[in-house]
Amino acid sequence: MKKPLYLKLVSSLKSHIQKNMHKGQKLLGEREIAERFNVSRYTVRQALDELEKTGYIYKVHGKGTFVSEKSVPTALNEVYSFTEQMKSLGKVPETNLLEFKVFNSDKRLSSKLKINLGNKVIRLKFLRKADQVPMMIEKTYLPFAKFSTLTLNDLENNSLYSVMSKTFHQSIHLVSESIRACLISNQDADLLSVEHHSPCLEVNRTSYNKLQEPIEYTFCIARSDQFVYNYKYIHHDKK
């Protein structure tokens, strides 16, 4: 266990809050928590900051620290996960890998992934379903140089993001997305079992690691009658 002290505090506090406290209830003061756990106030503040960032608590200057609404902690500033979203909506998610191939990047992909034109990329195509209803088609492009040893087997029981971070040590730090509405192509309409010329949601996502290198470019088409894109984030005030 190389876990820092404050993260242990985070775990302790989190489980204590979930078990014994309700929304709006006031926590002990920072000084008192520090004394109880026999750590410095700085460490307590780090733990509370972490809990605030993940949406479990909020602090008010001069008043104290309080438990958040229970609804808040889910998927806060997280990369969108179809699987997690569907689970939270009480649906059973399912993902089929339709394609796994390596090819040379064209102009568009090389600029998205900031690699040289012609450098190899891995292309993954997923069909995602919820309660057996097809919901979205996802095409993901990875720079081959960073994921050259990726195999089908890696993706068998793990999400792409966990493989990227655990096996290849490429964690997502920054995400840039753009979303638009358009009419679905006939081919995609057939895959998603919707009528031709239906409206659909188109999501473009580029993810960067901490060194600001693109590690993923994803293009999604989602059927509009079933699928809603949800997310939450903590607004970062400019001071």
| Residue 40 binds which of a second copy, DNA, none (CB < 5-8 A, kind-dependent) | DNA
Within a 10 A sphere around the Cβ of 66, how many other Cβ atoms?
15
Q: Which of 19, 22, 24, 63 binds DNA (CB under 7 A)?
A: 63
Q: Which of 29, 70, 186, 234 binds DNA (CB under 7 A)?
A: 29
Residues 6+ apart with CB under 8 A from 236: none
Q: Please answer whether residues 220 and 136 qualify as being in contact, where contact means their C-beta atoms are separated by less than 8 angstroms.
A: yes
- Taking alpha carbons only, the member of 157, 210, 206 closest to residue 177 is 206
Binding region for DNA (CB under 7 A) out of 58-66, 119-127, 178-186, 195-203: 58-66
3 state DSSP class of 190:
helix
Residues that bind a second copy (CB under 8 A): 7, 23, 53-55, 58, 60, 68-69, 72, 76-79, 171-183, 199-201, 207, 210-212, 222, 224, 227-239
Within a 10 A sphere around the Cβ of 115, how many other Cβ atoms?
19
Comparing CB distances to a second copy, the nearer of 120 and 133 is 133
Q: Is 170 in the site for DNA (CB under 7 A)?
A: no
Question: Minimum Å distance from CB 101 to a second copy?
Answer: 27
Residues 6+ apart with CB under 8 A from 200: 181, 182, 183, 184, 188, 192, 194, 221, 222, 223, 224
Binding region for DNA (CB under 7 A) out of 34-42, 74-82, 83-91, 188-196: 34-42
Give the number of C-alpha atoms closer than 13 A to the C-alpha of residue 33, restricted to the C-beta side. 21
Q: Is 233 in the site for DNA (CB under 7 A)?
A: no
Q: Is 40 in the site for DNA (CB under 7 A)?
A: yes
**Contact residues for DNA, defined by CB under 7 A:** 2, 4-7, 27-32, 38-43, 45-46, 59-65
